[in-house]
């Protein structure tokens, strides 16, 4: 049976301020979902809260995979249950190469009971797997020998993210790709990588405004967030409509949320 990721009435505070105000979302393994919405609507907050970032306080609701609530679990435990969030790995880890990092990450997800520094998955097995995934993704094997994030370009950071996704092979991947600074190489890496890796065993939530990403990965469902709630869900045509027409129509259809959005913006502006 396919797994289900279910977010139910999720409330999240950031520094005492309510940001998410009852988010509902269901993703099945094998489905591609797009999450869109204007700046500040809470998309990244949802991603951070799912990851278990300490700054994002869950004040109500649940995040479940097949009925297991993740809210009280640490990020490692969430990963073991099959959740992948485009990692906020440290900016640089001196002396750690891409391959070392991935070997630890993979071990961590597959052998949760090992003692620190022990029982890493065997080097030969790991190398073989890494090589085959990198081939599948059309990546140069040299990349695995680079020091993690040391002078990585935008595209290389995304290569790292996609390679990690390939190696961990999660049930659910949450990819926050809203960064307007993504260059075309980076967008291509993510678009093609997700298209190759997502299949009937992976559920994907892509948070993005990039048309190209959604062209390569046509979402079955598009969700629109406004003022901390998912106010609309449609199919790929909703994503296209938002690209072409922006959020004016959404705000018109949801005047209460639009008013809350305006109020929050005034508050920020002081
Ligand atoms: N770490 C944070 N500290 C303070 N405020 C934050 C933080 N993260 C998000 N917010 C606030 O939460 C709201 C939603 O932000 P965010 O989730 O980043 O929106 P989106 O990703 O949809 O652009 C914004 O009003 C933003 O100012
Ligand atoms: Mg964001």
CATH of domain 4-225+235-246: 3.40.50.300
Given a cut of 90, whether residue 185 has pLDDT beyond it is: no
Written as six digits, the tokens of 87 are 């990692």
CA of 47 to the centre of ligand 1 (A): 11
Strands, E, within 3-145: which ranges? 4-14, 17-28, 32-36, 56-65, 68-69, 83-85
| Cβ proximity of 193 and 136 under 8 Å | no
Rounded distance between C-alpha atoms, residue 148 and residue 163, angstroms: 13
Rounded distance between C-alpha atoms, residue 31 and residue 48, angstroms: 21
Given a cut of 70, whether residue 5 has pLDDT beyond it is: yes
Q: Ligand 1: does its nearest atom lie under 6 Å from the Cβ of 13?
A: no
- Nearest-Å Rg of the Cα atoms of the chain is 19
Q: How far is CA 10 from the centre of its chain?
A: 17
Query: Tens digits of per-residue pLDDT, 52-92?
Result: 999 999 999 999 999 999 999 988 899 999 999 875 554 56
Where is average pLDDT lowest: 214-218, 222-226, 236-240? 214-218
* Residue matched to tokens 């990690």: 164
Nearest bound ligand to the CA of residue 86: 2
Average pLDDT of 79-106?
Answer: 81
Query: Tens digits of per-residue pLDDT, 198-215?
Result: 999 999 999 988 888 888
Residue of 142, 143, 184 lying closest to 161 (CA atoms)? 143
Provide the residue ranges of all domains of the chain, joining segments of one domain with +: 4-225+235-246
Given a cut of 70, whether residue 48 has pLDDT beyond it is: yes
- Name residues with Cβ closer than 5 Å to ligand 2, which is an ion: 43-44, 178
Nearest bound ligand to the CA of residue 178: 2
Would you state the pLDDT for residue 179? 62
């Amino acid at each position: 049976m396919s797994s289900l990721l279910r977010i139910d009435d999720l409330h999240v505070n950031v520094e005492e301020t309510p940001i998410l105000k009852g988010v509902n979302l269901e993703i099945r393994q094998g489905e591609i979902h797009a999450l869109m919405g204007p700046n500040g609507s809470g998309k990244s907050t949802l991603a951070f809260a799912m990851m278990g970032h300490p700054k994002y306080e869950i004040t109500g609701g649940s995040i479940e995979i097949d009925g297991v609530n993740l809210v009280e679990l640490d990020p490692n435990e969430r990963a073991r249950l099959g959740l992948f969030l485009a990692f906020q790995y440290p900016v640089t880890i001196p002396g750690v190469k891409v391959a070392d990092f991935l070997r630890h990450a993979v071990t961590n997800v597959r052998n949760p009971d090992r003692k620190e520094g022990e029982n890493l998955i065997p080097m030969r097995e790991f190398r073989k797997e890494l090589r085959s995934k990198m081939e599948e993704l059309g990546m140069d094997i040299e990349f695995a020998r680079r020091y993690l994030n040391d002078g990585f370009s935008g595209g290389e950071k995304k290569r790292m993210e996609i390679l990690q996704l390939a190696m961990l092979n999660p049930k659910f991947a949450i990819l926050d790709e809203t960064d307007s600074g993504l260059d075309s190489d980076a967008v291509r890496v993510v678009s093609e990588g997700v298209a190759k890796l997502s299949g009937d065993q992976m559920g994907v939530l892509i948070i993005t405004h990039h048309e190209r990403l959604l062209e390569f990965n046509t979402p079955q469902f598009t969700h629109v967030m406004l003022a901390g709630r998912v106010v609309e869900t449609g199919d790929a045509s909703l994503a296209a409509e938002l690209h072409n027409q922006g959020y004016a129509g959404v705000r018109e259809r949801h005047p209460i949320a639009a008013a809350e959005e305006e109020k929050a913006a005034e508050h920020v502006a002081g």
